[in-house]
Amino acid sequence: MDWKQFCEKIIKIVGPIKDSAGFQIFDDRIEYTISDEQYVYTAEEFAALTQRSQQYIFTSCAKFNDKSYEALVDFLSSDSRRRFYGVTERLYDLNVEDKEEKISYSFGDASEELILHIIESYSELRILRLPSAFIHRKIEESAKKDLFSLINLFLRAPKSIYLKAETAHPDLTVYAKSYLFNIAYNYNYVLSIITELDDDFPSRPFMGASRRHSLKELSAPRLAYKEELVEQYYMALLSENAFVKFIGFYHIMEHFYDSVYNDEILNSVRSIIQHPAFSSKRKTDISKIVELIQKKTHQSKEEFQGNELEALELTLKNFIDLTDLKNDLEEMSRSLVDYYKNNEVGFSKGDPVDLYDVANDKVYKKLAARIYKTRNALVHSKSNEARTKERGIYNPFKDSQELQKEIPLMRSIAEAIIIKTSKEL
């Protein structure tokens, strides 16, 4: 994009105030006036910006090289944005310096390089369509009235996350996403790296107390999380519907059913083969292996069709430390552990779980039963009197408050799995 094309785009972007601000385009500069103060942006500044941009690789809404990364981020709803900006601390307080990895994390306005890339790349820009008087007031209230601050306002570009590293890193995107997960985990502020400037963001409810009260307590990420699990986590965290929350967190557990179940089969087969009494020459011994595999698997399966309850129990055993789970729930609310111990899930007949009895291995079975019975009551809605008495069916109007009480348990388990299955950065 040359200077002439840039000027043409600028005039289109600032159209609502073009005349009132007296925008004038010259061969070597752009001039405009706001609140009786004149502003100038020169062709020389544009050339320098174009030169600086060459050191970066650009995607739709991000720029990076091996020592820096910037991407547009936004809250996943206007509600969450309002709630965040209602607190005394701001996004700019979420700045962290990782002295070990020598990476700094911060937030700020989109850079001139990224803004330039956006207005060059998008033929149809999402320009602010508001009354002229309102726009003038917003501009006058703004501390910055330089050309790129105006462009940022008109494009409604969200803030950027910035990472800077002292040494080269092959993919700083992973670090950025891990940092955003840490923010969601600790504060319930769900920010997303956006891929298109006109991305739509789903509504998001109030999600209760956050783990941290001061934004200054946040640490730099140490782990890279599985993206497919984090997406499910965000979906659950953002929803105001207890049903969606429960299923979202359950899907994180379900993700591992195949792997943990297959490992269990392999270990069972291995224990038979390694037993000193086993002989491959005896049909009865071979039959034991065949019977085991037939019992635990189904032929020609496209999806997991083993014993889901057993797979859930194995998943919990694999990833969940009961003491950590109890402690995490007590941090959320001291009454939660007592509630799960003394109450079944009424509509699903989900088992009470005594998390104080952490030394008892049977707690995993009870925990799996509570979760699985509740999951079945949510997803199986056939009206059958015998089945209703046996398993229960979820009535969203009558049972939503009771289901809501299961969400802290599901969230804590899902978070533990996400963290346990992560990799070091």
Q: Which residues contact 48 (CB under 8 A, 6 or more apart)?
A: none
Same domain, 157 and 188: yes
Of 187, 216, 239, the last residue of a domain is: 239
Least confident of 39-43, 110-114, 178-182, 397-401: 397-401
What's the confidence (pLDDT) of residue 65? 96
Of 207, 239, 271, the last residue of a domain is: 239
Separation of first and last alpha carbons in the chain: 37
What's the confidence (pLDDT) of residue 181? 93
Residue 41 in domain: no
Residue 26 in domain: no
Q: Is the pTM of this model over 0.95?
A: no
Enclosing domain of residue 98: 57-239
What's the confidence (pLDDT) of residue 386? 45
What's the confidence (pLDDT) of residue 203? 32
Residue 79: C-alpha distances to residues 76, 205, 213 (Å): 8, 7, 19
Overall domain count for the chain: 2
Residue 386 in domain: yes
- Give tens-digit pLDDT for 344-382: 999 999 999 999 999 998 999 999 999 999 999 999 865
Same domain, 177 and 216: yes
Same domain, 215 and 270: no
Length of the chain: 425
- The pLDDT confidence band at residue 88, using thresholds 50, 70 and 90, is very low
Same domain, 262 and 340: yes
Residue 3 in domain: no
Residue 35 in domain: no
- Give tens-digit pLDDT for 205-226: 334 456 655 667 778 888 999 9
- Both structure tokens of 40: 């100038």
Residue 282 in domain: yes
Same domain, 115 and 188: yes
Same domain, 110 and 202: yes
- Mean of pLDDT values over 76-103: 69
Distance CA 250, CA 371 (A): 8
- Give tens-digit pLDDT for 115-134: 999 888 866 665 545 555 65
Same domain, 165 and 295: no
Same domain, 269 and 334: yes
Same domain, 412 and 298: yes
What's the confidence (pLDDT) of residue 206? 36
Q: Which of 170, 183, 164, 193 lies closest to 221, judged by CA?
A: 183
What's the confidence (pLDDT) of residue 174? 94
Q: Is the pLDDT of residue 59 over 50?
A: yes
What's the confidence (pLDDT) of residue 243? 94
Same domain, 234 and 258: no
* Average predicted confidence (pLDDT) for the chain: 82
Q: Is the pLDDT of residue 43 over 90?
A: yes
Q: Which of 37, 111, 81 lies closest to 238, judged by CA?
A: 81
Residue 247 in domain: no
